[in-house]
Structure 1
Amino acid sequence: MNLNKELLVTTTRLSLETLASTDLQLNNDLKLLFVVVGRLELVTQGRLTAVETGEIALVNRGEMVSVEASADNSVLSLEVDTVQLEPFSGFFQLTQPLSPRYYPDVHHQLTKLLARLYLEQAERAKGYRYVIEGYIRLLLGVLVRSLPYSTKLTDEQQSPSHSVRNDAIVDYLHRHYTEKISLQSLADQFYMSKFYLAHRFKAERGLTIGNYIREIRLLKGIRLLEATTMSINGIAQAVGFSTARASVICSESVTVLVR
């Protein structure tokens, strides 16, 4: 092993903390949230998932997520910058939290690995960085072997320049989602062909730009529906939908909330 190489531990964040509720935001790393105490409600890709004590939530890089956390929560949070873990690139496709009920074998393996990672980081014994690197690799191997998984990013799409450009576009969409955004105006904003933009965005994010904007608006609408007494028409207009789309946001928001 080359002792001078950059350690993967530098791309990993592990902490035991009380999570605060957050509004919709882009998740930039692969994230595992092990709920030690309390309860979390996550909205990702238009789906509401309740994560109870003892369960693990998994959020893919590139997913939009909002968190509603109970006041007394304690969560062991692991964030891994998978862009640095070549050749790893892909998306786990889950509809339930990782729990003894739905995924008994993988849940047992993950809880043991998370506990070992936490102890290694806390004790910092000699060679702990290499041990943590090994555990991270093993954890990813368990996930890939045990869970529904698909690889969507090519080597070309993982290049730093491409990732930076797409991240900038996503950031722009999150700041301007209430405005009328056309493919041509977005392409002009970032000095590229609209056909090239549409192709590359869909290849990396798995959604068209139009559907991505719709997801942002829908999830923002869900948050307003939960937290305010605004009318459906008012919510639709506030998040950028036309009045004619009010019935759409109403029906889809209610569907998500009762899942």
Structure 2
Amino acid sequence: MALSQEFFHTELENSELEALHRSPSIEYSFYNAVRSGDMETVLQNCSEDAFINLEGTGVLSRDSVTNIKYHFVVTAALLTRYCIDGGLEPEQAYRLSDFYILKMDSCTTVRQVADLHHVMAKDFTGKMILQKKSSILSKPVMQCVDYIYAHIKERITIQDLADYTGLSTNYLSRVFKQNLGVSISDYIRQQKIEKATHLLKYSEQSIIDIANYLSFSSQSHFIQIFEGFIGMTPKKYRDKYYKSMW
């Protein structure tokens, strides 16, 4: 039977059994909340577990876990496009989406997928909040932010950024601090530690491997900086969050 005929017969069989799809405005409001950086609305959506309320969203698989996984991929794809439309750097948005879809692939229950969805939604929203703040940043500071994101695995110096922007180290340091309220060095450390938290939560890399991956001078230096920002050691952080996710 041709697919068109199969679809026709399926429609006849299910026309009185399956509910109509709900209005897309419900989903649009969620995606717009993420794009606008409306963390309060996104947190409310997560607390209500709206993602696993699939009534009116269509059945993509008869298996409940596979079905919710398909919906997760759809949500990740739309969040990516909405956030890019809202000003998020495309490569960053796509990498974030790829990261969460790969993590979702290893989930084995509906609850795990839903919990990861909430983490993803809040992560995208947080990125959009930063994007709104960065819209008032000067061009050289934005260049620095982009450079740091793209080279986060490397050892980044103020001289590297000065060379990249064509400015003196003193002038760049002053403008950066005026714009973001932190020094370049502290900002680089913040971004490396944020990356480290993701690796500790979602990967099995050892602490020393993470320290090396992010180009810290030593494992002890990494632990010291991490504890200073997060308030606990990398080991305690992994014990608390890695196991709780799965």
TM-score bin, normalised by smaller chain: 0.3 to 0.5
* Structure of higher CA gyration radius: 2
TM-score by length of 2: 0.45
